[in-house]
A = this chain, B = another copy of it.
Amino acid sequence: MGCCGMANSPTGESMTERIVRVLDTFSSDRTVQTAAQIGRRAGLPSSTAHRIVDDLVEAGLLERDDEHRVRLGLRLWELALRGSTALRLRQAALPHMERVQARIREHTQLAVLEQDEALFLERLSHPDAGANITRIAGRLPLHASSSGLVLLAHAPADLRERVLTAPLRAVSPETMTDAAVLRRALAEIRARGFVVAAGSIESVSTGVAVPVRDGGEVVAALSVVLPRETPTGPAVEALLDAARRIEASLRSSRP
């Protein structure tokens, strides 16, 4: 590796990995931190944390306030989004998500598969909508959320087997935690083209999700979250219609 800033830390970790650990300490509940807090949360020596934070501030990836605390910089947001392929998917989906949202008036969401979880790219919510723990850039387990179930049903076989053979954590009392039950549910999702998951994340709500395809492959799950007592038929219909339109938009915008 040699002289040129590419050297790894004593633990063999690259500078990039340590930057990721620093950025990873920020969350929607923790948007402002001191370098000392970041160091503790990232498990980095204080002097290392201070130097990485200084570097990140210098590069604009973090911004420092008057009280010497830092937050994620707009420059980071810009770099992450400007050339993002996720942005293409989200832009193709947004007008059709708005149409679903205008009809259903609860929560409308778009999720993709990322590191064995459902990662949420977008969420539209009516001000008076019911409970929903999903957050933009938040994650949910594949076997519990309606979006995750759709993504898992269409995931590569090796990923599906990995999830099915690992312990299935109960997010709510109604989460499917039996691999055989889950396996049958995934086959049914592939056959029916949608899922209705009642209470599997929160007992008060039902997730309804459908797959979105690009070039034949499932690239996302489009979903709504409804109060438990709400009929799901209109949501299924609105989602299937929107998914078809998103797929047409993706076809016409293919780079």
Contact = CB atoms under 8 A, between A and B. Distances in A.
A164 interface: no
Interface string A59-92: 1110000000001101111111111111110010
Nearest to A98: B98
A74 B114 contact: yes
Contact of A26 (B58, B60, B82): B82
Interface residues of A, number: 69
Contact of A17 (B9, B59, B112): B59
Given A19-B19, A20-B60, A78-B137, 12 more contacts: A4-B9, A6-B52, A28-B83, A31-B85, A32-B85, A71-B83, A74-B119, A75-B114, A76-B80, A80-B80, A80-B81, A82-B138
| 6 nearest A-B pairs in the assembled complex, by CB-CB distance | A26-B83, A80-B80, A81-B137, A16-B55, A82-B137, A23-B79
Contacts of A87: 28, 136-137
